[in-house]
Amino acid sequence: MLKLAFKLLGYDKQKTLFTVLALAAVISVILILEGFEQGQYTQLEQVVLNRNADLIAAQSGVENFIATRSVIPQLSRIDVEAVEGVKQAHPITALPIIYKKDNLRTPVYIIVYDSSGGPSELLEGRAFQYGSNIVIDKSLSEKYGLKIDDEFVVNEFKFTISGITNESAFMMPFAFINYDGMIDLFLESDIAPDLSTFPLLSFLLVELKPNADKQQVIRMLEASVPSVDVHTAEEIAKNDIVLGRTFFEPIMGVLVSVGYVIGLLVVGLIMYSDISASRKSYAVLKAIGFPIKKLFRMVVLQSSLLILMAIPIGTLLALISAMSIEMSEPIYLIEIVNTTVYYQTLGACLAFALVSGLFPLVIIYRSDPMLAFQMS
């Protein structure tokens, strides 16, 4: 039966090629949609994990890193470092700003860091040399045509770009400055009564001594520094993904569902028109005694073969599209080869093949074996 299915597909090679291409396009659209959503979660996760902290101390009650306001007392750093098992606590502050140039606006998440937690993937330049240096994400550099040593104006304070990094999440590019830069920004802006008005310390990236027990240190930290809650970086990353899901899932869920509907329609259409065109061949098979069950199995086999041929091409198309999206819009990460999601999608596509086999069943059922003896 497999041989027959192959022969039927090979009968009109041009048409089979078109069919496989159309199916591959459907598969690639679904993979891109899924990859876009998955990429958002990976970026959210990486932004936390790339800070290279064993533990993260946040304002009491705060369990997220991205898009959250955490303010912890400056003196808590000393208290945290005094706890047994803690090697060092690196301060970090997050500032959301809107960057504007040439009538274009982009929300940017500025990470202020001191001894650790800076840019993790420098593509060009260096982290910083002076307080007025800034490292920006490559999406900002490309969108606004910014290069090393160019000015980057934040609230009328001029930073100089010293490096280009590759870090963005939640559809926001990241930028990195050090504490000197932040204090200059606040002081020169002269916008509030005193520096304490501003969020000077959002998180502490806790570095543990070798062999320190994470859970024990967490317990000791929370007992001795009540102003902070302490989590592992993995926990915070997980919480950020959960937060991301509440934002992306409703929209992406509908989009992916529509993608699957298209897939079902297209595979169904292809199988229907294919079987419709080869109605006579099926009549011949019926005339020589092929039972309906076997014919149905052959249709499913045929559509499964088409899907199987389309999968590698669809994956390749999705990978090429993802690469071109990431090159033109580096703020997005399209994660096509996420094992779980990838196999889920392919599983769903194979399910199409089964369901779409039902579409032309009626033609096979109705095709008269007498048709086999008619002149074409």
Partner 1 sequence: MFKWTFKSLFSQKATLFASSFGVASAFILVIFFSSVWQGEAEQIIAYPNKMEPDIWVMQKGVENLHMSMSFVWDWKAKLIEDMPEVKRVTPILYLNSVIVAKEKKLFGFVVGLLDKDDRAGPWELTQGRGIEGENEIVVPDVFRELASLELGDTIQLADRSFNIVAFSKGTYSSANPVFFVRLIDLEKLLSSFGTFSYLLVDSNEGVDNDRLVEKIKQKVSKVNALTHQAFVANDFALAKQMGVEIIFTMTLICSILAVLIIAYSSFALVSVQTGEIAILKALGVRSPLVFMSVIIQSLFMTMLAFLVASLFSLWVLPLIPELVPQITVRPTTSLLVSVGAIAFIVAALGAIFPAYKVLSIDPALVYKN
Q: Does 198 bind partner 1 (CB under 8 A)?
A: yes
**Least distance to partner 1 from the beta carbon of 72, Å?**
9
* Rounded CA separation 204/116 (Å): 10
Q: Does 361 bind partner 1 (CB under 8 A)?
A: no
- Of 1, 7, 52, 69, which lies in the binding site for partner 1, with binding defined by CB under 8 A? 69
Q: Under rule CB under 8 A, how many of the chain's residues touch partner 1?
A: 83
Nearby residues of 243 by Cβ (< 8 Å), 6 or more positions away: 44, 64, 66, 67
Q: Does 374 bind partner 1 (CB under 8 A)?
A: no
Q: Does 183 bind partner 1 (CB under 8 A)?
A: no
Site for partner 1 in 162-181 (CB under 8 A): 171-172
* Rounded CA separation 348/346 (Å): 5
SS3 132: coil
SS3 254: helix
In the bound state with partner 1, the residue whose beta carbon lies nearer, of 21 and 123, is 21
**Least distance to partner 1 from the beta carbon of 321, Å?**
6
The interface region with partner 1, picked from 62-70, 212-220, 284-292, 308-316 by CB under 8 A, is 62-70
**Least distance to partner 1 from the beta carbon of 289, Å?**
25
Nearest CA to 218 out of 227, 209, 202, 206 is that of: 206
- The token duo for 115 is 């001894």
Q: Does 321 bind partner 1 (CB under 8 A)?
A: yes
Q: Does 291 bind partner 1 (CB under 8 A)?
A: no
**Least distance to partner 1 from the beta carbon of 373, Å?**
14
- Of 100, 126, 147, 219, which lies in the binding site for partner 1, with binding defined by CB under 8 A? 100
Q: Does 1 bind partner 1 (CB under 8 A)?
A: no
The interface region with partner 1, picked from 81-89, 211-219, 257-265, 292-300 by CB under 8 A, is 257-265
Q: Does 340 bind partner 1 (CB under 8 A)?
A: no
**Least distance to partner 1 from the beta carbon of 83, Å?**
20
Q: Does 34 bind partner 1 (CB under 8 A)?
A: no
DSSP state of 107: E
Q: Does 352 bind partner 1 (CB under 8 A)?
A: no
The interface region with partner 1, picked from 15-23, 42-50, 288-296, 336-344 by CB under 8 A, is 15-23
What distances in angstroms separate CA 332 from CA 16, 44, 193, 212, 258, one per listed residue?
34, 11, 39, 37, 22
Site for partner 1 in 258-287 (CB under 8 A): 258-259, 261-262, 265-266, 268-270, 272-274, 276-277
304, amino acid identity: S
CB atoms within 10 A of CB 53: 24
In the bound state with partner 1, the residue whose beta carbon lies nearer, of 163 and 330, is 330
SS3 83: coil
Q: Does 64 bind partner 1 (CB under 8 A)?
A: yes
Nearest CA to 322 out of 26, 124, 34 is that of: 34
CB 92 within 8 A of CB 205: yes
In the bound state with partner 1, the residue whose beta carbon lies nearer, of 121 and 249, is 249
Listed in sequence order, the DSSP H helices in the chain are 2-11, 13-49, 76-81, 138-144, 179-189, 214-224, 233-277, 279-287, 292-328, 339-356, 361-366
Q: Does 42 bind partner 1 (CB under 8 A)?
A: no
- Of 216, 329, 365, 370, which lies in the binding site for partner 1, with binding defined by CB under 8 A? 329
Q: Does 246 bind partner 1 (CB under 8 A)?
A: yes
DSSP state of 209: P
Q: Does 73 bind partner 1 (CB under 8 A)?
A: yes
DSSP state of 166: -
- The token duo for 288 is 């020589």
